Amino acid sequence: MIERWRIRTFVTVFLSAVILDQFTKYLIRTTFYFGESKNILGNFLKFTFVLNENAAFGISVGPRWLYVLIVSIAIIFIVYYFFKNINRANATEVVAGTLIIAGAISNMIDRLTIKYVVDFINFGIGVHRYPYFNIADSCVVVGTILLFWSFSFMRRHEK
């Protein structure tokens, strides 16, 4: 039986992340023209409406159906592994795993509904820019960093 706080944490973080990601993408799709860019923090942070048909950072992995299949299998595996081990996870790991799942599922929602992932966040200095991304991508990255941090440092102090 999964402890209640773990389920509440999962549901709260999951819904918050997916709703925030989908809402920001909706705002971009409905208030920006495709390719339109607006400075948010000078030239350092920009919001630009782009559509990504490829994997992370625009990496092509073949036909769309193959990518959707591979990512769907990965999501199923991650969700299964997460819930199989959730009672052994500390709070940081529950949040981290949930962020990774939420980010992956939210981007999959885009792929299944509009056939692309909406990306819009872009930062950098001058012509040196980081690739476009969205809130879901940020969830996956932050979740991965939190897991690494927990496994590397927090687990040592629990023993």
State the Cα–Cα distance between residues 125 and 135, nearest whole angstrom.
Answer: 21
Q: How many helices (H) and strands (E) does the chain have?
A: 5, 4
- 110 catalytic residue (yes or no): no
- Say which of 133, 137, 139, 150 is annotated catalytic: 137
Count Cα atoms within 13 angstroms, Cβ side, for 122: 23
- Say which of 17, 101, 119, 139 is annotated catalytic: 119
State the Cα–Cα distance between residues 6 and 94, nearest whole angstrom.
Answer: 7
Q: In what order do the strands lie in the sheet with 128-129?
A: 37-41, 45-52, 117-125, 128-129
- 21 catalytic residue (yes or no): no
Annotated active-site positions, please?
119, 137
